Amino acid sequence: MISVIGAYTTKFGELWNVTLRDLINEAAFSAISDASLDTKEIQAVYLGNMLSGMLSGQEQLGPMLTEELGVFVPAIRTEGACASGGLAVFEAVNALQSGKFETVLIVGAEKMTDRPQDMVAMALMAAGSDAERQAGATFPGLYALMARSHMEKYQTTQEQMAAVSVKNHFHASLNGKAQFPFTITIDKVMESGAIADPLKLLDCSPISDGASAIILTTKSARKKNIQIAASEVSTDTLGLAQRDSLTELLATKKASRSAYKNCGIAPTDVDVAELHDCFTIAEIMALEDLGFYKKGEAGPAILRGETKLGSKGLIANTSGGLKACGHPVGATGVKQIVEITQQLRGVSKAKQVENAKVGLCQNVGGTGATAVVTILKN
Amino acid sequence: MSSPIKAWREQKKINKNLGIQGKIISWTKILVPPYGFSSDAPYFLAIIKTNNNTLIGQIVDTNGNAPKTGQKVETVYRRQKKPDTEGIIYYGIKFRIL
């Protein structure tokens, strides 16, 4: 049994006064403190990050973390674009299941706001294919291609997509760590400037700095016992054009089916989920691909107010999601686990989902070339 | 990242994609481009299904008119992004509506 005994996330946002190292340090030591551990009890560290080489000129982040800890244990950095953090969790879970280690630290971190927007957009396109880069594609552009297909196939509307953003901003307004802790309206989303038609500025997650960390152990848990029930990864073609369908992420479907099967949990058992809403259409597709809604039914459901705190059934993205909590890409997959852990501990205060027992995290790299699905239970 | 060697290598692949027709599967209008594409923006980006392949590329010569899903297109040879500091001019495939 693998338990989450420590969990912490830094403030997400434009954090101009801190470095990548500062963020990693704060997240790591705060998670260790939350777990009431001594650093000497950490047997290995896993660090999810995508862009440190391109944006900070720093690779080999593993020893940066062990240097900060003062404990020179094995250190592995994982990269899977925006799923880098989720992959770090997956690797750590595998190592614990193998019996190699008993207690490990996982950190996800990204420092993005030191560079101009077009440089960051270019760096993020490292997650795409050569053909996409040569064509001048951006990630908003690639998700816009999926959004248009979804709209044409299922009559999904721009208002339904806007409702995802409105819901997640409402949740972020209850989260002091969120980059955008304020509410917005559907009109405000609809009036925001076009980035890649049909996606507008307020359909898009921001460029963010931040770090998150968790401690996993196979030793008997000292805190309220939050377990990792399953962690699965699937991959798909790197380029979007090579997919059979533009209206689903096959990697999400496959990873989630394996995860559900491995732990005997069904979509109807899930109380709270952190979904990879890098763009509003992505949350609509995620709700469908994960089995919470049939294809074409998630958009109307969100517009009706479903998946929002206080509604019946599944609640999605209580952190504010990538859209409103922020999206430091390497941190996101770990932040999702932190959010669900806090929900299952029952310590989420104003954004607490009542009686939450089972949670799910979906973390996506690129346009769905990598998907990590992690299920936690109380 | 740009490289003269990479540009030279990519040129060899262009011939096989010339003279190809296909139809638009989905499209978008990019208003916020990545580094190197600001002089082209705004531009239309589409996924094109051909007889034996699926490609991604820009739709050009539209006079600003939005394309439609299902429209037929053909490949054309065009300059891509602005020359980098080494002076390499990149060429590649874009699409024109038939």
- pLDDT tens for B69-95 read 999 999 999 998 877 777 788 889 999
Provide the pLDDT for residue A62. 97
**Residue A373: partners with Cβ closer than 8 Å, 6 or more residues away:** A230, A231, A232, A233, A252, A255, A256, A258, A259, A290, A360, A361, A362, A363
Please answer yes or no on whether B34 and A152 come within 8 Å at the CB atom.
no
Of A134, A136, A240, the CB nearest to B47: A240
Residue pair A10/A330 in contact by the 8 Å Cβ criterion:
no
| Element housing B27 (H / E) | strand B21-30
Whether A327 sits among the annotated catalytic residues: the reply is: yes
Band (pLDDT 50/70/90 cuts) for residue B67 is very high
**A30-42: average pLDDT:** 97
B20 three-class SS: coil
**A358-376: average pLDDT:** 98
- A59 touching B, CB under 8 A? no
State the average pLDDT for chain B.
Answer: 91
Q: What is the pTM of this model?
A: 0.97
Provide the pLDDT for residue A32. 98
**A333-343: average pLDDT:** 98
Across the strands, what pairs with A9? A212
Q: Is the pLDDT of residue A75 over 90?
A: yes
Distance CA A124, CA A88 (A): 19
**B28-57: average pLDDT:** 94
Band (pLDDT 50/70/90 cuts) for residue B9 is confident
Q: Is the pLDDT of residue B60 over 70?
A: yes
Shortest CA distance from A148: residue in chain B: B26
Residue pair A333/A86 in contact by the 8 Å Cβ criterion:
yes
Kindly name the residue from A82, A204, A278, A361 that is annotated as catalytic: A82
Provide the pLDDT for residue B87. 76
Band (pLDDT 50/70/90 cuts) for residue A122 is confident
A214-240 pLDDT, tens digit per residue, is 999 999 766 568 999 999 999 999 999
Q: Biggest alpha carbon distance in chain B?
A: 39
A195 three-class SS: strand
- A118 touching B, CB under 8 A? yes
Please answer yes or no on whether B81 and A136 come within 8 Å at the CB atom.
yes
Q: Is the pLDDT of residue A68 over 80?
A: yes
Provide the pLDDT for residue A221. 64
Kindly name the residue from A150, A169, A276, A327 that is annotated as catalytic: A327
- A194 touching B, CB under 8 A? yes
Of B10, B25, B58, the CB nearest to A136: B58
B1 three-class SS: coil
A143-193 pLDDT, tens digit per residue, is 999 999 999 999 999 999 999 999 999 999 999 999 999 999 999 999 999
* Nearest partner of B45 among A73, A239, A120, judged by Cα: A239
Q: Please give the structure tokens belonging to residue B57.
A: 């590329």
Shortest CA distance from B14: residue in chain A: A131
- A132 touching B, CB under 8 A? yes
Place of tokens 């064509």: A135
Band (pLDDT 50/70/90 cuts) for residue A252 is very high
Q: Is the complex ipTM higher than 0.85?
A: yes
Provide the pLDDT for residue A223. 58
A369 three-class SS: coil
